[in-house]
Amino acid sequence: MKSLLMRSPIAIALFWIGTYLLITVLPLFILLIYPPPGGGGFWVEFSVALGFIGLAMMALQFVITARINRIEASYGVDILLQFHRFTSLTAFLMVLIHPIMLFIVQPETQQLLNFFEAPWRARMAILGTLAFIVMVVTTIWRKPLRIPYEPWRMSHTILSVLAVGLGLGHALGVANYLSLFWKKMLWTAMALIALWLIIYVRLIKPWMMSKKPYLVEAVTQQRGNVWTLALRPWGHDGFCFHPGQFSWLTLGITPFSMREHPFSMSSNGDHSGRIEFGIKALGDFTRTIKDIPPGTKAYLDGPYGVFTIDRYEDTAGFVLIAGGIGITPMLSMLATAAERKDDRPYLLIYASKTWDSITFREELEALEEKLDLKIVHVLREPPEAWKGEQGYVDKALLARYMPKYKGTRQYFICAAPKMMEQVEQALHNLNVPVTQVHMEHFNLA
Ligand SMILES: Cc1cc2nc3c(=O)[nH]c(=O)nc-3n(C[C@H](O)[C@H](O)[C@H](O)COP(=O)(O)OP(=O)(O)OC[C@H]3O[C@@H](n4cnc5c(N)ncnc54)[C@H](O)[C@@H]3O)c2cc1C
């Protein structure tokens, strides 16, 4: 059965972009059809248009981040998040320019900044803009401000609801532009859709997940401070996935927790009865994995992602480039390909610190026996007698191993951000077509 992931992806992607553009400019069309009474001149109208588009773009962020499978499967989480960041910042600028322009063109409107004397519609605008500013500042500078991920995520949700809610309240309060009943209906509908998406993500989806729990079957130590967490579905069949995809994992008694973390499945995508993750102990949550007792309840929201060999059934072969824990989606792809008796060539270029810290080293060696697989280990701190590759994965190293006809392969990169950037650039310099390079970033925020 072909999933949505593989059905005419370009047409589906274009459909979503078209829908996005249509919704963002809809308020402007309405203004064109029903121009505001009186009219305040070009700059006033322009400023109002900016405010409307900014608000529509902000409301649409709830759709982009709602993990809607159909949208996610067209682009992948990486592109969606980049789009979320870019469009949020654009909306932010529009929302800021909107009042500044008004204050310049109609200086008397500056009185609306007097919070205590201003009407409610202006107060809502001030509060909404403040919420937006705090949200943008805490997101861009989260790490320098030392805000831990979970409190940030919680505050990001609350601030976004406040910003959009107050923005809509402001728009509805400005009678000039929204006096017509059906214009009010349009904005109210947008607000309700955004609200529904929050309810869906925070309540309905977790409730659906609670009906399909998993149990921790085993936690096994791997090389490189990594732990394999094996889950077994409890009272249901689990799910198959495209190797390379990931899920959001929640451990504990309830799926309603805000503590959910994304992890790529490291096991065979065709085996729904046991799902494994290779988790590197790096932070608050991942350091606790080793102590999770078997029998602990777990919940999975997934599978997600487009980082998978399954999208390229017609390709001649694959080049997988991994750094450290970036090996997990690659292991899943290789294990699945081996069991499917895939006879295409696979090249794995795998960067690790030392020989002893190579995560899944033995599992990969075993796969060399079952697949047309060549593994090139690249060590940053090689042992004395090491004759293999060392240092970094750069253009010269890639050129030594890459197939002669570079355009006949699909290239998958998953590693630390810096390595991913360098490898992407090196592949570009080696004339690998950009459409054949696929990346999975592990650092979402
Ligand atoms: C698509 C994808 C697949 C991934 N696959 C793997 C994998 O197979 N193995 C693996 O070890 N790691 C994987 N990660 C990374 C993993 O999600 C983070 O290392 C983990 O969430 C960090 O949590 P922590 O509390 O231990 O670390 P912390 O020290 O609290 O956080 C370290 C950093 O990780 C990020 N982070 C923390 N919590 C979350 C969260 N809930 N959601 C998203 N990011 C968060 C933040 O940028 C944070 O600053 C993947 C990430 C993504 C996006």
Query: What's the pLDDT score for residue 351?
Result: 97
To the nearest 10 degrees (0 to 180), the angle between helices 9-33 and 42-64 is 150
Q: How far is the CA of 262 from the centre of ligand 1 (A)?
A: 6
Protein residue with least CA distance to atom 40, ligand 1: 261
Q: How far is the CA of 320 from the centre of ligand 1 (A)?
A: 21
SS3 content of the chain, % helix, strand, coil (to 5): 55, 15, 30
Q: How far is the C-alpha of 52 from the C-alpha of 57, rounded, in Å?
A: 9
Cβ burial of 145 (10 Å; 0-12, 13-18, 19+) is exposed
Residue 91, H or E segment: helix 77-105
Q: Which pLDDT tens digits describe the chain residue by residue (445 residues)?
A: 445 444 566 677 777 778 888 877 776 776 666 665 556 677 888 888 888 889 888 988 888 888 887 777 777 788 888 889 999 999 999 999 999 999 998 888 898 888 888 888 899 999 999 999 999 999 999 999 999 888 998 899 899 999 999 998 898 887 655 556 666 777 778 778 888 888 888 888 889 999 999 999 999 999 999 999 999 999 999 999 999 999 999 998 777 776 789 999 999 999 999 999 999 999 889 999 999 999 999 999 989 999 999 999 889 999 999 999 999 999 999 999 999 999 999 999 999 999 999 999 999 999 999 999 999 999 999 999 999 999 999 999 999 998 887 778 999 999 999 999 999 999 999 999 999 999 999 986 6
- In the block, tokens 């925070």 appear at 202
- Record the pTM: 0.85
Collapsed DSSP state (helix, strand, coil) of residue 349: strand
For residue 254, the one-letter residue type is T
Pocket test for ligand 1, best of 81, 156, 263, 276 (most atoms within 8 A of CB): 263
Query: What's the pLDDT score for residue 178?
Result: 55
CA distances from 340 to 41, 118, 270, 328, 366 (A): 67, 68, 9, 18, 15
250 within ligand 1 shell (Cβ under 6 A): no
